[in-house]
C-alpha cells in the first residue's frame, strides 16, 4: 500500500474513531451536573486539542507502521489507542469516574512506554507523542480531581 493510502487510513482510524466516540459518548447532563475543579478547562478547548493530538497520534502510528508493523512499539501504539477510545464511554456513558481513572492511568503508561520504545528508532515519532503525554497527564489529574470532588 502506498504512503498516501496508509497515512489516510491512520488518520481516518484515529481522527475518525476519536470523533465518532466523542459524538456518541460526549459530555451529557450527568457531566454538566458534576462539581468541577477550578482548573477544569472550558468545554470548547477539548475539540481543537483532541483534533491536533489525534493528527499527531496518527502520524506517529503511521511512522511506526512504516518501519516495523509488528514491533513492540506498534503494539504499544495500538494499546494506547484502544485505551483512549475506551475512556470516553467508561467516563461519559457508564458514569464511572473511578473506572475511567484506571483506564487513563493505563493509557498514560502505554503512551510513555511507546515513547521510550520508539525513541531509539524514530525520535520524531517519540516527539509527536510528547504533547499527547502532557495532555493525558493533565487529563489524569482532572479525572482524579473529579473523582475526589464527586466521589
15 alpha-carbon distance from chain centroid:
11
- The string of pLDDT tens digits covering residues 111-144 is 999 999 999 999 999 999 999 999 999 999 999 9
pLDDT confidence tier of residue 2, bands split at 50, 70 and 90: confident
Residue 14: closest CA among 88, 91, 107, 77? 77
Q: What is the pTM of this model?
A: 0.96
Within 28-129, where are the H helices?
29-32, 46-67, 72-88, 97-118, 123-128
Domain 3-150 has CATH 1.20.1260.100: yes
Amino acid at each position: 500500500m502506498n504512503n498516501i493510502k496508509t497515512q489516510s487510513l491512520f488518520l481516518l482510524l484515529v481522527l475518525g474513531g476519536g470523533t465518532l466516540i466523542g459524538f456518541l459518548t460526549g459530555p451529557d447532563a450527568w457531566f454538566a451536573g458534576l462539581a468541577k475543579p477550578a482548573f477544569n478547562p472550558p468545554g470548547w478547548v477539548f475539540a481543537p486539542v483532541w483534533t491536533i493530538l489525534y493528527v499527531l497520534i496518527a502520524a506517529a502510528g503511521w511512522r511506526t507502521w512504516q518501519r516495523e508493523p509488528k514491533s513492540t512499539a506498534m503494539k504499544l501504539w495500538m494499546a494506547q489507542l484502544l485505551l483512549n477510545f475506551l475512556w470516553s464511554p467508561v467516563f461519559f456513558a457508564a458514569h464511572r469516574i473511578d473506572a475511567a481513572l484506571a483506564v487513563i492511568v493505563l493509557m498514560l503508561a502505554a503512551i510513555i512506554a511507546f515513547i521510550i520504545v520508539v525513541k531509539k528508532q524514530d525520535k520524531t515519532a517519540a516527539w509527536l507523542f510528547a504533547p499527547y503525554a502532557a495532555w493525558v497527564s493533565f487529563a489524569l489529574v482532572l479525572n482524579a480531581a473529579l473523582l475526589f470532588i464527586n466521589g
